[in-house]
Amino acid sequence: MSRNLYILAAVFFLFAFVSGVMALIPAGFQPGLPANGSLWRTVALILLLTALVAGLMGVLSNLFEQLDRRSEQARLAARRRRKDERR
């Protein structure tokens, strides 16, 4: 699950970068596209924030998966110890 969120964050970051570059290009080179630089900067900022949120969700998902995996391993180890003590 976390890998998908990392990929999503990377895609949003790529689009934010492209939008940021579009804000720097003069309006004459953008036929048919919004020429307002502040619009491109706003879109870039929103995409960047979305990328950061998706990255944070990926990190938290990874941490919780690791916590769940370690608690499961500890539970199985404790179960094995109890089983060995009975013998």
| Token output for 77 | 């180890």
pTM for the model stands at 0.77
| Number of CB atoms found within 10 A of residue 37's CB | 14
Domain count, the chain: 1
Residue 67 lies in a domain: no
User: Residue 32 region, left (φ>0) first, then alpha (ψ -120 to 50), else beta?
Assistant: left
| Token output for 44 | 């870039």
DSSP state for residue 35 in the 8-state scheme: -
Express each pLDDT in 15-67 by its tens digit.
Answer: 999 999 988 887 777 677 766 778 889 999 999 999 999 999 999 999 999 99
Residue 73 lies in a domain: no
Task: Using pLDDT thresholds of 50, 70 and 90, give the confidence band for residue 86.
Answer: confident
Residue 70 lies in a domain: no
Tell me which residue range forms the domain holding 16.
2-62
Residue 6 lies in a domain: yes
Task: Using pLDDT thresholds of 50, 70 and 90, give the confidence band for residue 69.
Answer: very high
Give just the sign of the alpha carbon dihedral 47, 51, 54, 56: negative
